[in-house]
Amino acid sequence: MERRFADRREAGRVLARMLEGVSTDPDPVVLALPRGGVPVAREVAAHLGAPLEAFVVRKLGVPGHEELALGAVASGGALVLNQDVVRSLDLSTDVIEAVADRERQELARREREYRGDRPMPDVTGRCVILVDDGLATGASMRAAVAAARRLEPARLIVAVPVGAPSTCDELRREVDEVVCAITPSPFHAVGVWYDQFDQTTDDEVRALLADAHLTDASNG
């Protein structure tokens, strides 16, 4: 039986220790996928002494079947489509754009909510560590990877406490390194591997990011 995590904070501490053995040069920046990835990433950033920021990703749900993802959009404007779903449902470009436009508006709202006036950190030529609380299908993380690539980092690392083995393997072809603390099989779902997996709130996200920025400011 694979280990379980008490909560996201403990999972972040485990992940942070694993990242000690991974090259995070030069000058790492931790980008967290809200909301559940933020408490995990806060522990990682604190352990590495790295800045932390939110990197928003929004799933694109099929109209009428929103639980089925046709793709995702992410900070910076990246759009990633699940071509299997698009083809099987014969979704038109107009339908996809309508869904994407709606989610881009929500993405922009959340970025303002989480970051306020703070600009995205300049990650050009730096090591970016993308953190979430787990990987199931990987659709959100793939959108984040595509968006982060546009920012021209020197290295791109995906780090999660738990992931489906096949998803972690697939992502290894897209980034410089993937760190999955546990890759249980059968996988079931991300929340199965946490004793406490309550939904992270917007207030918690804002508080964690504000605390990280205060810490950075006092250390700087």
Which strand ranges, in their side-by-side order, compose the sheet holding 29-32?
52-54, 29-32, 127-131, 155-162, 177-182
**Pair 168, 129 in one domain:** yes
**Pair 106, 138 in one domain:** no
Cα–Cα distance measured from residue 24 to residue 173, given in angstroms and rounded to the nearest whole number: 18
Q: What's 121's DSSP letter? A: P
**Pair 89, 192 in one domain:** no
Asked if residue 201 is part of any domain, the answer here is yes
**Pair 91, 199 in one domain:** no
Residue 10 to residues 58, 126, 174: CA-CA distances in angstroms? 26, 27, 27
Asked if residue 147 is part of any domain, the answer here is yes
The H or E element containing residue 57 is strand 57-62
**What's the pTM?**
0.90
Confidence of residue 18 (pLDDT cuts 50, 70, 90): very high
**Pair 128, 181 in one domain:** yes
Asked if residue 119 is part of any domain, the answer here is no
Residue 143's pLDDT is: 87
Domain with 109, as residue range(s), is 59-114
Residue 24's pLDDT is: 86
Q: How many domains does the chain have?
A: 2
**Pair 74, 182 in one domain:** no
**Pair 130, 171 in one domain:** yes
pLDDT digits (tens, 9 = 90+) for 42-100: 999 999 999 999 999 998 999 999 888 898 898 887 888 888 899 999 999 999 999 99
Q: Please give the share of the chain, as a percent, with pLDDT higher than 90.
A: 71
pLDDT digits (tens, 9 = 90+) for 181-195: 999 999 999 999 999
Task: Judge residue 199's burial from the number of C-beta atoms within 10 Å of its C-beta, 0-12 exposed, 13-18 middle, 19 or more buried.
Answer: exposed
Cα–Cα distance measured from residue 78 to residue 67, given in angstroms and rounded to the nearest whole number: 21
Structure tokens at 212: 């990280």
**Pair 189, 207 in one domain:** yes
Structure tokens at 16: 């942070």
**Pair 23, 47 in one domain:** yes
CB atoms under 10 Å from CB of 116, counted, come to 10
Residues whose CB falls within 8 Å of the CB of residue 202, separated by 6 or more in sequence, listed in order: 35, 110, 113, 114
Q: What's 41's DSSP letter? A: H
Contacts by 112-116, CB closer than 8 A, 24 or more apart: 113/202, 113/206, 114/34, 114/54, 114/56, 114/202, 114/205, 114/206, 114/209, 115/53, 115/54, 115/209
Residue 88 belongs to a domain with what CATH number?
A: 3.30.1310
